């Protein structure tokens, strides 16, 4: 089981990378930048809090891929982040269909 320091470090790093990636791809709308960054921060913390509360140690099994040994815990963090980002975008940018809010089409 990973400790809270590692969880917070990973979440902060994810949020910084998400913000940077959004700017790199040309996103300039403050609501979308905020949602992407906050989702990448809040969702992994929430998912890992659930894993810690339920003592779900089996989620920390790495995939047998040497180049990217992601675990089920990492996958859950990604799923939580995507779900939270979609929900927040639907609430914060309701005047646009979600597809257009995300893809800027």
Q: Where does residue 78 rank: exposed (0-12), middle (13-18), buried (19+ CB within 10 A)?
A: middle
Cα 85 to chain centroid distance, Å, stands at: 8
The secondary structure of residue 67, as a DSSP letter, is S
Q: Which residues on adjacent β-strands are paired with residue 71?
A: 62
Q: What is the pLDDT of residues 15-71, one digit of tens each?
A: 999 999 999 999 888 988 999 999 999 999 999 999 889 988 787 776 677 776 678
- State the Rg of the chain over Cα: 15
The answer to whether the pTM exceeds 0.95 is no
User: Which pLDDT does position 79 carry in this prediction?
Assistant: 93
Question: For 66-94, what is the mean pLDDT?
Answer: 84
């Amino acid at each position: 089981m990973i400790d809270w320091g590692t969880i917070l470090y990973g979440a902060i790093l994810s949020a910084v990378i998400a913000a940077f990636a959004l700017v790199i791809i040309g996103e300039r709308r403050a609501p979308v930048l905020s949602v992407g960054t906050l989702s990448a921060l809040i969702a992994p913390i929430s998912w890992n809090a659930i894993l810690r509360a339920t003592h779900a140690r089996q989620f920390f099994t790495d995939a047998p891929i040497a180049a990217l040994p992601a675990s089920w815990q990492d996958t859950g963090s990604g799923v939580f982040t995507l779900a939270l980002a979609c929900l927040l975008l639907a609430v914060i940018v309701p005047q646009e269909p979600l597809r257009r809010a995300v893809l800027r089409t």
